[in-house]
Amino acid sequence: MQRLAAEEQRRRSCRVVGAVELLDRLRALDRLQVIVRVRASDRVRETEPRVVGTMPRTVPAASKTGIS
């Protein structure tokens, strides 16, 4: 009985470690995506033709890039 309990405990702790690793990887991916998005939006802004006075700037720039 005690051996079974120890086995179950070890399995559970392995599962937790796996979940933590997964979360870390997801966070790293998220950071990468944010960086890529920022770079892409910068590039878009550079190549965008400048049209003055056609659209009122009611939207703040921060919400445009997706970074709050």
Tell me, yes or no, if the pTM score tops 0.75: no
Residues 25-38: tens digit of each pLDDT: 888 877 777 766 76
51 vs 25: CA distance, rounded Å: 41
Phi-psi map region of 66: left, alpha, beta (phi>0 left; psi -120 to 50 alpha): left
Residues of the chain with pLDDT under 70: 13-17, 35-36, 38-68
User: Are 41 and 64 contacting, i.e. CB atoms less than 8 angstroms apart?
Assistant: yes
The tokens 């933590």 sit on which residue?
A: 20
- Other residues' Cβ atoms within 10 Å of the Cβ of residue 67: 11
CA distance 14 to 7: 11
> Which pLDDT does position 18 carry in this prediction?
74
